[in-house]
Structure 1
Amino acid sequence: MKKATPDPSGPDLRWVKSSYSSGEGGQCVEVAERLGNIHVRDSKDTTRPELVVDGSAWTAFVGFASR
């Protein structure tokens, strides 16, 4: 993952973009953690609402996706 950057819309979330994301306009997501919940958003359109999931659900998803 790349270094976290402050979210301009609010100081509570520090969004992290995947290191697999390129500067060539590829599709990517960003994630942020707050109070045990994981926030997921489209890195190309950060004005849209983010998806919020429980931290344990995110851990299960990442474990499944990495297999």
Structure 2
Amino acid sequence: MSITCISDGLSHAVRDTEIASANSYQNGYYSAVCGHVVTPASMVAPDGQPCRVCAERDPGHEHRCRERR
């Protein structure tokens, strides 16, 4: 899933398992594929520019970002 971070404005790839984990559920932060700790922006806002490192590690990341814009 693509989640835009309010701290850097980039759209990061976050695995479904990370979103569903109890730790993320309790604190509201997610660990992206690139290792960045994501503080999610509003989920109704368009995605920011794709994170280059996430795009390298998750081939479908840029495609998902384009779909949400």
TM-score bracket, normalised by the shorter chain, equals 0.3 to 0.5
* TM-score normalised by length of structure 2: 0.33
Higher share in helix:
2
Higher share in strand:
1
* TM-score normalised by length of structure 1: 0.34
